Amino acid sequence: ILSSLLVVACSAAMLAPNLPLLLISVFLIGVSANITQQLIPFAASLVSSEQKGATLGTLMMGLTIGILLSRTLSGFVGEQFGWRSVFLMSAVLAALFGILLRVFLPSNKPHTNLRYWPLIKSTLALFIKHKSLQHFTLSGAFWFASFNVLWATLAIYVSDEPFNYNAQQAGLFGVIALAGVIGAKSSGKWVSKLGSKALIMIALTLAAIGFAITGLFNGSLASLVIGIILIDFAIFSAQVANQVRVFSIEPTAQSRINGIYMLGYYIGGAVGSMVGVKAFALYQWPAVVAVSIIFILLSGIFNSFAKK
């Protein structure tokens, strides 16, 4: 159902004759593109607790590759063929992977027979019930906010002096950020050795250092590359570690718990994007760096409240 809706939404965005219809289409793309967040708890429910870290690391590797290379690919396609062609490409990919998921995904039965609105209420009840889920969610929301501060403003930053890059060239930073794939994959193994809390603290420290490097050497391509590598490595490592402990809260409600966690996560990302663009408009790149580090510090505070 979500794959079909995604194809329709991408097609509608491609054909949108005005901004209101484009915004509605993009909203529906956001709703249906959460297929990923159905697959992650589904996969986690199929493996033992000892295998969760490695499994989530593999899934996050795929997710990271998709997120980062999409920037590069869409930048190229948009530059060469126009913005509507990007949505056409998305519709084709959504149709292809919808068919593959239908063919290869194993069947499963839900753990609950609740109707939709009682299910939503029970999800909120889980958030209220588990203090640890609140801490994990807020910590993740703030570091994802910092991540989106960077990526919402990066293309604007490098389009001006001294870089003067076009959309296609700016998209190539997504390839550089593939270091995050290494972080996502390797962190699954380190969770069992260091524990999620310690690993996330290390990751947040690396992210803060990455932001600081881009700020201290403002206008330097080398510092920007090094900073992006550290930031992406750190953020995706932290995400794997956080989701391992999120899925350990209540095994019979993994999808609902992941749903409320990812809701907070993406709200954090949206807030980060808005704040980042505003900060850049007011005080340029130094403000972006300052806001990002503040978000990282807030994330670390909530992570310090967690027990594991």
Lowest mean pLDDT among 5-19, 25-39, 106-120, 213-227: 106-120
- Are 137 and 249 in contact by the 8 Å Cβ rule? The answer is no
**Tokens at residue 279, please?**
């900060």
Q: What is the pLDDT of residues 266-294, one digit of tens each?
A: 899 999 999 999 999 999 999 999 999 99
Task: Determine whether domain 52-65+115-305 maps to CATH 2.60.40.60.
Answer: no
Does the structure show a pLDDT above 90 at 8? yes
pLDDT band at 163 (very low <50, low <70, confident <90, very high): confident
Q: In whole angstroms, give the CA distance from residue 299 to residue 2.
A: 32
Cα separation, 140 vs 131, in Å, equals 14
Going along 52-119, which residue ranges are E strands?
A: none
> pLDDT (tens digit, 9 = 90+) per residue, 105-157?
888 776 667 777 887 888 888 888 888 899 999 999 999 999 999 988 988 88
Q: Which one is predicted more confidently, 29 or 62?
A: 29
* pLDDT score of 262 more than 90: no
Q: How many residues does the chain have?
A: 308
Strands (E) located in the chain = none
d(CA 247, CA 252): 9
Which residues are within 8 A (CB) of 84 and not within 5 positions of it... i.e. 6 or more apart? 14, 15
In three-state form (DSSP H/G/I as H, E/B as E, the rest C), the secondary structure along 139-158 is HHHHHHHHHHHHHHHHHHHH
Query: For the residues 208-237, what does the mean pLDDT come to?
Result: 89
Reported as a pLDDT band with limits 50, 70 and 90, residue 183 is: low
User: Domain ranges in the chain?
Assistant: 52-65+115-305
Residues 124, 35, 172: CA angle, nearest 5 degrees: 115
- Whether the CB-CB separation of 57 and 187 falls below 8 Å is answered with yes
* 211, pLDDT greater than 80: yes
Q: Is the peptide bond before 286 cis (omega within 30 degrees of 0)?
A: no
Pair 136, 241: CB distance under 8 Å: no
Model pLDDT, residue 184: 63
